[in-house]
Amino acid sequence: MRFHFAYGSSAFIARKMSAAPATTPAFPLAADWRDFFALTKPRVITLVIFTGLCGLLAAPGHIHPVLAFTAILCIAVGAGGSAALNQWWEADIDAGMKRTRKRPLPDGRMDRTSARDFGIALSAGAVITMGLAIGWLDAAILAISIVYYSWVYTIWLKPRTPQNIVIGGGAGAFPPMIGWIAVTGHITLMPVLLFLIIFMWTPPHFWALALFVQTDYAKVGIPMMPVVAGERSTRRQILIYAALLLPLTLVPWWLGKTGPVYGLSALVLGLIFLGLSAVVGLRTSLPEGDRMKPEKQLFGYSILYLFILFAMLVVDRFAMQGFSALGS
């Protein structure tokens, strides 16, 4: 089903592509390094980088520390570049939302061309360096994730369908796979499972947030799930994805790819995630003046959850190595 929103229209896209976009201020202030840094969405990409690092550290095999550092740097720079391209494209949308209107473009601190060029330079630099230093398979996956976030999600899906973040969630799910392949050189089941875990985690992560900032999305015509399908349906879907996430995170343990340190952590972390999602998912009527506390808690916990889950993957690997060293 296709949703007809102003941002999905060809007129909107044509205006975006024009040389003088509506949001370019007449006399843009000179942007300093802090504005360029802000374009990379540093807070959000911390977790992207961390999951990439954990994928690299949990993979079987050895990688020279300099190459490991290079691979993670490429993930960071590529993610930052794609975030800059996202903001280049969405300057007018960001201008319309309280949460985003102080970003460098909508605030008039930077012109759009600089943001676009910065995004392209970072993205291209990251992919080429990855290819030369680590391998072209990893470079190709990095390029796919950059295009996925800055084009498939931002330009194509986000303005068109409430499934935008379900399908688009793939963009942020690649880094652990990239980290893993930097060590092993090829795709196996485990990096695919890590991809699927983040893929399944994204809807509850984002819809929890969308529930408490949904008025903003409605204002700028972005068809986020609560805006299109309503709160009730969004809440149910959060619960469904959280319920699917729990067994999925246990698959690496069931298959013997990880040990009990990861498995039991995934179980406990997942049960808490499911519990918080159930509170959000089963709420039907909201009391007057409700401040959406459970939704905010779920969003905050979703971030902590992924941090700890991936950290446990690494701890587990070193614990398993320790046990086998003791046994030999």
Residues near ligand HEM (CB under 6 A) are 43-44, 46-48, 51, 99, 153, 165, 168-169, 172, 198, 202, 205-206, 209, 303, 306
- Which 8-state DSSP code applies to residue 172? G
d(CA 322, CA 312): 15
Please return the burial class of 251, using the count of CB atoms within 10 Å of its CB with bins 0-12, 13-18 and 19+: middle
d(CA 128, CA 197): 28
| Residue 221 · residue 5 · CB < 8 Å | yes
Closest separation in Å from C-beta 299 to ligand HEM = 8
Which one-letter amino acid corresponds to residue 168?
G
Residue 157 token pair = 């899906």
Please return the burial class of 99, using the count of CB atoms within 10 Å of its CB with bins 0-12, 13-18 and 19+: exposed
Site for ligand FPP, residues 214 to 273, rule: CB under 6 A: none
Residue 128 or 272 having the CB closest to ligand HEM: 272
Which one of ligand FPP, ligand HEM, none interacts with residue 146, CB within 5 to 8 A by kind? ligand FPP
Q: Is 175 in the site for ligand FPP (CB under 6 A)?
A: yes
Q: 225 Cβ partners below 8 Å, 6+ apart?
A: 162, 165, 207, 210, 233, 234, 237
Candidates 83, 115, 196, 309; binder of ligand FPP (CB under 6 A) is: 83
| Residue 261 · residue 300 · CB < 8 Å | no
Q: Is 145 in the site for ligand FPP (CB under 6 A)?
A: yes
Which one of ligand HEM, ligand FPP, none interacts with residue 315, CB within 5 to 8 A by kind? none
Site for ligand FPP, residues 96 to 115, rule: CB under 6 A: 100
Which one of ligand HEM, ligand FPP, none interacts with residue 139, CB within 5 to 8 A by kind? none
Candidates 56, 166, 171, 211; binder of ligand FPP (CB under 6 A) is: 171
- Find the part of the chain contacting ligand FPP (CB under 6 A) among 29-37, 73-81, 280-288, 300-308: 73-81
Which one-letter amino acid corresponds to residue 65?
P
Chain residues binding ligand FPP by CB under 6 A are 41, 44-45, 48, 75, 78-79, 82-83, 86, 90, 100, 142, 145-146, 149, 158, 171-172, 174-175
